[in-house]
A and B are shown apart, each in its own frame.
Chain A
Amino acid sequence: MEQAEPKIVAFLCNWCAYAGADLAGVSRLQHPSNMRTVRVMCSGRIDPLFVVQALKSGCDGVLVAG
């Protein structure tokens, strides 16, 4: 049986991680398509409650990168 693909919500800092994700695109670096990005102005903006809400909404993992 094929393993179910986890759904990931990623909070990315506009100035670094989000820019990095864009650059991955420019460089055509292929990667799995199961991540959904929420752009924020700083990873310090992430309230733990956002993470809880993401998990509550049904995602399987949360990535905070900045």
Chain B
Amino acid sequence: MDKCIACGTCAEKCPAKTADAFNEGLAKRKAIYVPYAQAVPLKYAIDKNRCIYFQKGKCRACEKFCPTNAIKFDDQEKDITLNVGSVIITAGFTPFNPDKFDNYQHAKFPNVVTSMEFERILSAGGPFGGHIHRLSDGREPQKIAWLQCVGSRDLNRCDNEYCSSVCCMYAIKESVIAKEHLGPDFKPTIFFMDMRTHGKDFEKYYERAKSQGVRFIRSRVHTITETDTSGTLELVYATESGERVSEQFDMVVLSVGMEPAASAMEAAKTLGIELNNYHFVKTSDMTPVATSREGIFVAGALQGPKDIPQSVVEASAAACSAAVNLASARGSLVKEKTFPAERSVQDDAPRIGVFVCNCGINIGGIADVPAVAAYARELGNVVFTEEPLFACSQDAQEKMVEIIREQKLNRVVVAACTPRTHEPLFQETIRNAGLNPYLFEMANIRNQCTWVHSSEKEKATEKAKDLVRMAVQRAGILEPIPDLSVGVNKSALVIGGGVAGMTAAISLADQGFAATVVEKSSSLGGSARDVQHSWRGEDIQAHLKKLVDRVNSHPHITVLTLAEIVDASGFVGNFETRVKVNTNIHTIQHGVVIVATGGRASVTDEYLYGKHPAVTRWHDLEQNPELLSGASSVVFIQCVGSRDDQRPYCSRLCCTSSVYQAIEIKENHPDTDVFILYRDIRTFGEREVLYKKAREKGVIFIRYSLDKKPVVTGSGDGLDVRVFDPILQKELVIHADRVNLATAIEPSPNEDIAALYKLPVNAEKFFMEAHAKLRPVDFASDGLFVCGIAHYPKSIDESIAQAMAAAGRAATVLARASIQISPLVSQVNSDLCIGCGLCTEICPFGAIIQEDADGKGFRAKNISASCKGCGLCASSCPKKAIDMLHFRDAQILAAVCAAV
């Protein structure tokens, strides 16, 4: 594996083909393969079951042609014993296989594909290069139907009664992307039961899809047949009002759900951890990543169906949990790498060495490498050239170190593959030879030259020469750049003393980091004080009491209540925040900030709320059970102030909460009629089981639409609720003793916090994370994290997971004495600066401030620790007072001028 340079010759020569699982079997791959082009590690592997040598005892073509002798047929499976302090299992899910059910016709009709197959069809890197066509006849489809809940919410045909949580959104996404591919005449249709777009910014995505022409039909398709020999399909379905429709489609995409991966279940069994009814790993709402076995944690879709951001949150939460257990051994098994002292090059004329890599035949087989090297030798300042077979191989690296020393090189150019994968390796090599790593430059003559001009050998050679010339010109004026590191204050400021804030503080304090919790109200607890039970039925108040006690008694936690943040400054590792408590100002130095300012149920003036005593909201009934005594009829109204023009988002918790409460009422007062008026029931994941239970208990669900909202009027002591029932196609009047409203969840006021720490919020004032998918608890600026309802409405288990994730991410900062940051940052020349402030305004990271310069007015000042090196400031500065290290104007222009 160390020898493989991923040139691909083996796969080219391999005679054995097999179905490509990465492309869901829609394409073929060889028996020696990399799963996909960007695979990590980028090393070819032999599929033993398909390899002719392994199956029949002869062939070995790959071995014959491999230029680096990297093929090892005698490699044996080995058992390895690892001694570890903790285990995290994240072995994931398998998409539901619809082939076992003939009603979906996936196995039989070529134009019925699964959503995973459709992902590969859409992908530019997929089997068809992103061109959508029917598998039966290659024709571009004009109409595609997506069928939701295939292998989910289905007890009749499979055992998966849970909702898979992600299929509604991915179906919308696939339909939107397909429309981008196929143009305005393309007609996508999604057949669904409830649209579940309960995540952050999902509802807007759904609305946008509707306006872009995606058709949504609330129905379950019961029959799929082929109408002709070309493979066109006929779908038969019933509309909500009972009308039977048959309609033709070119293709059908089955939105398949999630099942725990078989190998994951096996691993769970080996580890001895408990699974739940659906074979997902069993957890509690209060400890959402802890398995039944101490020291073993779970994260991702193996714990239950969920989307990527929630999986990433749990990943960081599990890492945090493991770190809490192992805190005393932190740093005991990791080592720092050391390098020889750096040689000063400031006073020497450039002595450039150019290494033109052959990369086996990848470069050398197309470009004339000796000619490129000879050309380089003639360039100014070049004193040495060489043509290694593989510049990145271990022996070539060692030789390079020797050559740098012998030839007294002070700049190095490697013409080879791409700096994106290999620059760090070569930088390390020249560091080993005593050179600063930034005295290195690469010319990309493989990925961007010989690989893409393989039939134009002469032109590829010419281009390679040009690229080497550009690199040499630039290398001649590269400068050594010292490492940049900042010290870290090993403590955290946690803003907000609700469940999220307290959990984050405890998770850090248990690792030995100090935390200060700043709470603006007089007591800890936040919005969880109003909620009795989690959706799994666990006691929230008991948990809350434990949390408050632990926070108050923890030696590493300071709690400030009735506290207001009045000023904040600094950057990662080095923040300073001033907090006002009564009339006292506390100045707190801290390394990280965790924002957990929470949210609350909004008030409304709809449905007689505040005007009629029988109209309540959220947990009023639960907290005041006497309100239910003698009530013969209770109506819940969902989406009060959510999913409308004012708040175009789903509040995520309300469906589950109302369904849970409805079940409780039915259990305590079986004779009470309970109605839930809803738009879509969004009991995602295993919460779906509650929805089913509620229906079994006799709770009546009536759907309403935004244009026909229910109307509540006073009627004696009680209320009359008028609602149009779309199934009966007529208006119903329900006499209710109580009407309980699920009002929208909104963020707590947070403008001041957002302004003080320069944190972005979205249109609805929820804090915006750095990346919706991959960085769900980080802010774009380093050292700041978000969790809980401040980020988006979420249930207590999700808040706890996110709080632990924020603590886990924060610990990656706090665990170090200092943080190495990329020294490729911007530099202000204050003699040229006129203090116009454009750079400060334009910097997305708050990395340039304006500072008073002794009576001369303001001058720009770099906060290098926050700088990401983008160079927006440099290109915008009207006085050219800002330059970028390693990407100075002169260095870029040197390459530009050498390009032609």
Contacts and interface: CB of A to CB of B under 8 A. Distances in A.
Direct A–B contact in complex, judged by CB atoms less than 8 Å apart: yes
Interface of A: 7, 9, 14, 18-19, 21-31, 33, 36-42, 44-47, 49-50, 53-54, 57-59
Given A18-B420, A36-B470, A28 B870 contact: no
Where chain A touches its partner, the secondary structure class is mixed
A26 B449 CA distance: 11
8 smallest beta-carbon distances between A and B, as pairs: A25-B447, A45-B871, A42-B870, A25-B451, A44-B872, A36-B899, A33-B459, A47-B875
A28 B451 contact: yes
A57 B899 CA distance: 8
Nearest to A66: B870
B455 to A, nearest CB: 7
Contacts of A50: 889, 892-893, 896
A36 B899 CA distance: 6
B455 A36 contact: no
B670 interface: no
Nearest to B125: A27
Interface stretch (B177-185, B460-468, B485-493, B570-578): B460-468
A9 B874 CA distance: 21
Given A21-B448, A25-B447, A41 B871 contact: yes
Which of B446, B463, B892 has its CB near the most chain A CB atoms (within 10 A)? B892
B444 interface: yes
B870 A22 contact: no
Nearest to B124: A27
A14 B466 CA distance: 20
A49 B444 CA distance: 25
A14 B872 CA distance: 14
Interface in B405-455: 418-421, 444, 446-449, 451-455
A44 B895 contact: no
B467 to A, nearest CB: 7
Given A18-B420, A23-B38, A45-B871, A30 B899 contact: no
B897 interface: yes
Contacts of A54: 896, 899-900
A28 B452 contact: yes
Given A31-B452, A36-B466, A23 B37 contact: yes
Given A22-B444, A25-B447, A30 B455 contact: yes
B884 interface: yes
Given A33-B459, A40-B887, A41-B869, A47 B874 contact: yes
11 contacts: A9-B896, A25-B447, A25-B448, A26-B447, A33-B449, A33-B462, A37-B448, A41-B871, A45-B884, A50-B893, A57-B896
A45 B887 contact: yes
A53 B897 contact: yes
B460 to A, nearest CB: 6
A30 B452 contact: yes
Contacts of B444: 22, 37, 39
Contacts of B418: 22, 25
Contacts of B869: 41-42
Contacts, number: 116
B884 A33 contact: no
B875 A41 contact: no
Interface string B877-900: 000000010010100110111011
A38 B897 CA distance: 11
A66 B871 CA distance: 13
B38 A41 contact: no
Given A18-B420, A30-B455, A33-B460, A44 B899 contact: no
A47 B354 CA distance: 29
A42 to B, nearest CB: 4
A17 to B, nearest CB: 11
Contacts of B419: 39
B456 interface: yes
A36 B672 CA distance: 76
A41 B887 contact: yes
B452 A53 contact: no
A9 B875 CA distance: 18
A19 B37 CA distance: 13
Contacts of B805: none
A59 B455 CA distance: 24
Interface residues of B, number: 42
B296 interface: no
Interface in B566-597: none
Given A45-B892, A46-B875, 6 more contacts: A7-B900, A14-B420, A21-B448, A28-B451, A33-B456, A42-B872
A28 to B, nearest CB: 6
A26 B40 CA distance: 13
Contact of B452 (A29, A38, A47, A57): A29
Interface in B620-640: none
B796 to A, nearest CB: 37
Contacts of A41: 824, 869-871, 884, 887
**Listed residue (B444, B448, B870, B897) with the most chain A CB atoms within 10 angstroms of its CB:** B448
Contact of B875 (A18, A33, A44): A44
A45 B895 CA distance: 15
Nearest to A48: B875
Nearest to B362: A25
Contacts of A47: 874-875, 889
Contacts of B470: 36, 38
B347 to A, nearest CB: 29
Contacts of A30: 452-455
B900 A58 contact: yes
A44 B897 contact: no
Given A33-B456, A59-B899, A27 B37 contact: yes
A59 B900 contact: yes
A17 B870 CA distance: 14
Given A33-B463, A45-B875, A38 B896 contact: yes
Nearest to B897: A57
Contact of B893 (A14, A24, A53): A53
A36 B900 contact: yes
A29 B454 CA distance: 10
Contacts of A36: 463, 466-467, 470, 899-900
Nearest to B893: A53
A39 B470 CA distance: 11
Interface in B231-277: none
Contacts of A53: 893, 896-897
Contacts of A58: 900
B892 A38 contact: yes
B893 A45 contact: no
Nearest to A13: B870
A8 to B, nearest CB: 9
Contacts of A29: 452
A60 to B, nearest CB: 9
Given A33-B460, A44-B872, A45-B872, A38 B895 contact: yes
B453 A33 contact: yes
Contacts of A59: 899-900
Identify the interface centre among B418, B449, B874: most chain A CB within 10 Å of its CB: B418
A7 B897 CA distance: 13
B452 A9 contact: no
A38 B899 CA distance: 9
B463 A40 contact: no
Given A33-B460, A57-B899, A22 B455 contact: no
Contacts of A33: 449, 452-453, 456, 459-460, 462-463
Contacts of A38: 470, 892, 895-896, 899
Contact of B420 (A22, A28, A31): A22
Contacts of A26: 37-38, 447, 451
B896 A22 contact: no
B420 A9 contact: no
Nearest to A19: B420
B670 to A, nearest CB: 60
A62 B890 CA distance: 18
A42 B869 CA distance: 8
